[in-house]
Amino acid sequence: MNLKLRERLLSATRDLFVRKGIKNLTMDEVAKELGMSKKTIYQMIESKDEFVQEVIERYIADEKKQLDVFATTALNPVDEIVHLYSHILTQNREMNPTVLIDMQKYYPKSWETLSEYRNVDMYKRVFDNLEKGKQEGYYVTNFDSDIVTKLYIGVLQVLANQELFPYQQYQFVNLLKEYLNYHLRAIASEKGLTAWQQHELMNTIS
């Protein structure tokens, strides 16, 4: 198997999923985008379900690397969380609002993979940030880090609930902005709020 061609295929498919959604994207569109036949595509990927799963796994691997960068280069816990928030908002500005809906409804294995990433890896990162922020005086100390971390992760899933927030009425980016501002204002100490207000990225998430 041509690994470079496979990598190109997965990268291009990820971009198409983001722009067009998952369910409505056809293999004909993927083939046209890459200038190759569907036969060639199916020699590398057996089904669309496999496509979606591999794209999600690569997305998660890329996310872990990016979050490692935020964690190791952050000036303080507020700096780390602001960069994380900005990153999430940038991603969702580019994303078709049906992506998460499609995955949850039609690709349960991939949705489970994404949920596991949120509930395990993302949980640890947010929890560690909260604990460090408390220790360094950037966050108030009178909250339970476990509960607040789970609320953070849970709310992100609630925002994708189409019964509560139909995408025809609510832009997901605006929902994220409202929640992220609410979250940070609720946990930040005076020192943390000052660091946030002086942050170069504040205007991108407020």
In this predicted model, what pLDDT tens digit does every residue of 121-160 receive, in sequence order? 999 999 999 999 999 999 999 999 999 999 988 887 788 7
CA atoms within 13 A on the CB side of 97: 16
**Rounded Cα gap, residues 145 and 29, in angstroms:** 45
| Domains parsed from the chain with CATH numbers | 53-205 (1.10.357)
* Residue 202: pLDDT over 80: no
- Summarised one tens digit per residue, pLDDT across range 49-95 is 988 999 999 999 999 999 999 999 999 999 998 888 888 888 877 78
Q: What angle do CA 147, 153, 158 make, to 5 degrees?
A: 115
Q: What phi and psi, each to the nearest 5 degrees, are found at residue 138?
A: -85, -20
**Rounded Cα gap, residues 149 and 156, in angstroms:** 11
- Summarised one tens digit per residue, pLDDT across range 4-23 is 888 888 888 888 898 888 99
